[in-house]
Amino acid sequence: MTYDPSGRGATRSAAENQIKAGQLSTSGAPDDRLLDISGLTVDFRTRRGISRAVNDVALSVRRGEILGLVGESGSGKSITALSVLGLVPAPGRIVAGQIVFDRRNLLQLPEAEIAKLRGRRIGYISQSPRAALNPSFRIREQMDVTLRACAPELDAAGRADKARSLLEQLGFADPERVAAAFPHQLSGGMCQRICIAMALAGSPDLLIADEPTTALDVAVQAQILALLHELNRKLGLAILIVSHDLALIRAIAHRIVVLYGGEVQETGDVGTVLAAPRHPYTGALLQSVPDPDHPSARLAFIPGFPEPVPPDADGCRFAPRCGFAFAPCLSQRPILRLVEDGVRARCHLLDPGMATP
Amino acid sequence: MAKLILRRLFGTLPVLLGVSFVVFVALQLVPGDVARTILGYNATEERVAALRAILGLDRPILVQYVTWLGNLARGDLGQSVALGVPVLTVILDKIGASLILMGASFALVLVFGLLLAALSGGHHRSPLDRMIVLLTLVFASVPPFWLGIVLLYLFGLQFRLFPISGMYDMANPGGLPDLLRHLVLPAVTTAVSSLAVVARVTRGRMIDVMNQPYIMTAKARGLSRPRIVYVEAVRNVLPTYVGISGLQIGYLFGSAIFSEIVFNWPGIGLQLYQAIIQRDFPVVQGAVLAIAAVFVFGNLIADLIAAALDPKRAT
């Protein structure tokens, strides 16, 4: 089964062409892992029992790399990203795994040490830029407080200078006017650029971008993506970008991790994976991206919806919705196997030992 | 903002009119007769009827009310039946002491209401939070007349920490320190239940704010926990806090009447209580109007401050 991904992608024409004008160093990056997650498991303990949001997830982000984390709502992608910051919302709890950032396992660090990494080594931008800004403070005050936390070596004048230069770097022609505004006086795109400016205040090595363009209109999406790409190229900023939008990931990421049901289903070089998905879920996701060349065509979709996963579930997470499922898919959990150079997928169809239907 | 102030200012007029009318009518339902009270139970029916005519009590209620309203417009609240002096004099004489008591209680409500709300709501489900929730539940349920007597007994009579009655020491009045010593128990008695209400409502909003995305991103930006709870979050509960605090002014007056009676505080509440006992209706009417005016204007000011605290409404 192969899929033809060429020509597909909602924002391809606007965003992708603009961005691909830069270069994508898709392979040959040195194995210099800035972030290395392995065996990450997150449980949500609710009155109805334990639900496993993230199960045995492994991924790594190399220095200077953009990693795209893809999945639909409830796939565990945001929780995985928040785990790195130590900000998994209650009642979620990391029950197993390692999160190694710059050779230190964050899960063994005291909270105070993780707090020091936030803002200074790891930046974060969210999917709702306006809601991510405190409605009661002017941008100037919010940037000042952020700089006070992330760059304690600066004095008041130094912070004001730095805030101005960050805003200029993010493309604001008139930083003073923006700094004097309250969040509700600014557009969503402006808010997101301000959020990025604040995330960069501590000159982090890694930026976690959780659906950074979801709340923005298409033209602004392209602008923000171009900005992230430029930061990656110019500053060597590593980015972990979380999205449900394959076209966006294709446009910006070097490597991709596809999550479903809290598990990594497929991972590898973004071009290789999307050119010929090995996992039926990746394939189904690709087919449900609207095709701008055939706008009237019926959009393919994946029947059913993701169901909450108990911690002791057997079988493949995607089996109930998979068009290719056969007997072992419901009883045996497939392993994430190396399919070819750099591409791994979790599917029984790829197991030469299994009888294919 | 100026428009809002004007609109709200005009809005207070019907409220005050309504209050005065309801009180005027309600007083007619109180058994007993002012003329009879003044003349005593041995007076003849003829003399009582004559006095009723002089006081205008024989005229229809509506006529009496409109007459009272007309006098009010000229700044005349009538004569106290029991004291024989103008009602306005009685009120001006007593309202100072009440405002001192109210001010002290309101300060307690404001300081401890916000403090408890931030400590509990900012650390939702912590042991401290649970303790404060329990404490404020008890506080909110304690009637002031009961609490006043308990405090008076414990801290006035048993431990002898505070005086039990009045505003100044009778034998040798000692200025501000003396006033403050006399103020502690009545102010605490008045404040406790309102304080608990403010703390609980503000805590609810605080929990809500702590779950907002901007608090999460503030953490991700590396801001310190105290900064996030006590500045970033608390700033956003202020409109709610000011609004609910403004509403408490009315309840504080209600509680103050009880603590003025228990602690013999020479304020308008004690005066009102005595006037009701004596059927001194003009004083009752005037005192209620004064209390209603303070309540309405207090709320107006609270609403305007709450509006000014919200950047979306202020700009």
Q: Tell me which residues of chain B, numbers 233 to 252, contact chain A at a CB-CB cutoff of 8 Å.
A: 235-236, 238
CA distance B110 to chain A (A): 21
Quote the CA–CA distance of A79 and A99 in Å, as a whole number: 13
In A, residues 97-116, which contact B (CB 8 Å cutoff)? 115-116
How far does B215 lie from chain A, in Å, by closest CA? 8
Say how far apart CA A290 and CA B297 lie, in whole Å: 60
Question: What mean pLDDT do residues A3-20 have?
Answer: 40
CA-to-CA distance for B279 and B120, rounded, in angstroms? 47
B216/A contact by beta carbon, under 8 A: yes
Residue of B nearest to A120 (CA): B222
Q: Taking CB atoms and an 8 Å limit, are B222 and A120 in contact across chains? A: yes
Provide the pLDDT for residue A4: 37
Q: What is the pLDDT of residue A19?
A: 41
The answer to whether B284 and B272 have CB atoms below 8 angstroms apart is: yes
In contact, A61 and A251? CB cutoff 8 Å: no
Sorted by sequence, the CB contacts under 8 Å of residue A130 that are 6+ apart come out as A183, A184, A186, A188, A191, A215
Burial of A343 (0-12, 13-18, 19+ CB in 10 A): buried
Q: Are A193 and A130 in contact (CB under 8 A)?
A: no
The whole-angstrom distance between A191's CA and the closest CA on chain B is 12
Nearest to A128 among B213, B223, B312 (CB): B213
Among A69, A84, A59, which Cα is nearest to A204's?
A84
Q: What is the mean pLDDT of chain A?
A: 85
Which of A83-87, A176-180, A279-283, A319-323 is predicted with the least confidence, judged by mean pLDDT?
A319-323
Q: Compute the average pLDDT of residues A42-67.
A: 90
Buried b (16+ CB within 10 A) or exposed e, A226-238: bbbbebbbeeebb
CA pair distance A81, A140, nearest whole angstrom: 28
Cβ within 8 Å, pair B220-A116: no
Grouping H, G, I as helix, E, B as strand and the rest as coil, residue A12 is helix
Best mutation target, A84, A106, A114, A145, to test chain B (most B CBs within 10 A) = A145
Distances (CA, A) of A343 to A258, A273, B279: 11, 7, 93
The tokens of A206 are what?
């890694």
Maximum alpha-carbon separation in chain B: 86
Residues 317-346 of chain A whose Cβ lies under 8 A from any Cβ of chain B = none
Q: How many residues does chain A have?
A: 357
Query: Nearest residue on chain A to B235, judged by CA atoms?
Result: A136
State the pLDDT at residue A1.
37
Euclidean distance between the first and final Cα of chain B, in Å? 9
Structure confidence by residue, pLDDT tens digits, A271-286? 999 998 999 999 988 8
Interface contact A124-B221, CB threshold 8 A: yes
* Percentage of chain A modeled with pLDDT above 70: 89
Tell me: pLDDT of A238 over 50: yes
- Does A168 or A50 have the greater pLDDT score? A168
Which residues does chain A have within 8 Å of residue B311's beta carbon, measured at their own beta carbons?
135-136, 182, 184
Measured between CA atoms, the residue of chain A closest to residue B309 is A136
Is A182 in Cβ contact with B236 (below 8 Å)?
A: no
Q: Does A215 score more than 60 pLDDT?
A: yes
What is the band of A17 on the pLDDT scale with cuts at 50, 70, 90?
very low
Question: For the segment A279-311, what is each residue's pLDDT rounded down to a tens digit?
Answer: 999 998 888 877 777 777 777 777 777 776 666
CB–CB of A233/A22 below 8 Å? Answer: yes
- The pTM (predicted TM-score) of the whole model is 0.84
Mutant choice from A120, A134, A150 vs B, greatest count of B C-beta within 10 A: A134
Q: What is the pLDDT of residues A250-269, one digit of tens each?
A: 999 999 999 998 899 999 99
Chain B CB contacts of A208 below 8 Å = 220
Out of A128, A136, A149, the one facing B223 most closely (by C-beta) is A149
Residue A21: pLDDT band by 50, 70, 90 thresholds?
Answer: very low
> Which chain A positions have a beta carbon within 8 Å of B309's beta carbon?
136
Cα of B310 to nearest chain A Cα, Å: 7
Q: Is A79 exposed, middle or buried (0-12, 13-18, 19+ CB in 10 A)?
A: buried
B contacts of A124 (beta carbons < 8 Å): 217, 220-221
Measured between CB atoms, does B227 come within 8 Å of chain A? Answer: yes
* Residue A198: closest C-alpha in chain B: B221
d(CA B68, CA B83) in angstroms, rounded, equals 19
Task: Return the minimum-mean-pLDDT range out of A238-252, A318-332, B133-147.
Answer: A318-332
Sheet containing strand A104-105, strands side by side: A49-62, A33-46, A92-101, A104-105
User: Quick check: B7 contacting A, CB < 8 Å?
Assistant: no
Asked if the C-beta of A137 comes within 8 angstroms of chain B's C-beta atoms, the answer is: yes
Neighbouring residues of A124: CB distance < 8 A, sequence distance ≥ 6: A85, A118, A199, A207, A208, A209, A210, B217, B220, B221
Pick A131's closest partner by Cβ from B214, B220, B225. B214
User: Strand order in A263-269's β-sheet?
Assistant: A122-125, A206-210, A238-243, A66-70, A255-260, A263-269, A343-346, A336-340
CB-nearest partner of A87 from B220, B232, B311: B220
CB atoms within 10 A of CB A210: 23
Counted across chains A and B, CB pairs separated by less than 8 A come out at 80
Question: What residues pair up with A49 in beta bridges, in sequence order?
Answer: A46
- A214 and B CB contact within 8 Å: no
Query: Residue A355 pLDDT > 60, yes or no?
Result: no
pLDDT per residue over A101-149, tens digit each? 998 999 999 988 888 899 999 999 998 999 999 999 999 999 999 999 9
pLDDT of residue A8: 40
Q: What is the average per-residue pLDDT within A24-37? A: 64
Residues forming a β-bridge with A170: none
| Chain B interface includes A150 (CB < 8 A) | yes
The pair of structure tokens assigned to A234 is 């110019």
Residue numbers of chain B with a pLDDT score lower than 70 = 315
| Bridge partner residues of A37 (DSSP) | A59, A99
Residue A96 tokens, joined: 């197993």
Contact assessment for residue A83 and residue A118, using Cβ atoms and an 8 Å cutoff? no
- Kindly provide the b/e burial profile for residues A100-123, where b requires at least 16 CB atoms within 10 angstroms of the residue's own CB: bbeeeebbebeeeebbebbbbbbb
Minimal CA separation from B315 to chain A, in Å: 9
A209 touches chain B (CB under 8 A): no
In this prediction, residue B261 carries a pLDDT of 93
pLDDT, tens digit (0-9, with 9 covering 90-100), for B45-60: 898 889 888 888 888 8
Q: In chain A, which residues have their Cβ closer than 8 Å to the Cβ of B227?
A: 145, 149
**Distance of alpha carbon A3 from alpha carbon A285, whole angstroms:** 11
For chain A, list the domains and their CATH numbers: 14-121+204-350 (3.40.50.300), 135-192 (no CATH)
- What phi and psi, each to the nearest 5 degrees, are found at residue B32? 105, 165
DSSP state of B2: H
> Hey, are the CB atoms on A145 and B223 less than 8 Å from each other?
yes
Angle at A206 between CA A205 and CA A209, to 5 degrees: 150
Q: Do B217 and A132 touch (CB under 8 A)?
A: yes
Q: Which of B216, B311, B312 sits opposite A87 (nearest CB)?
A: B216
Select the residue of A134, A149, A185 nearest B222 (Cβ to Cβ). A149
From B233, which residue of chain A is nearest by alpha-carbon distance? A134
Q: Do A134 and B232 touch (CB under 8 A)?
A: yes
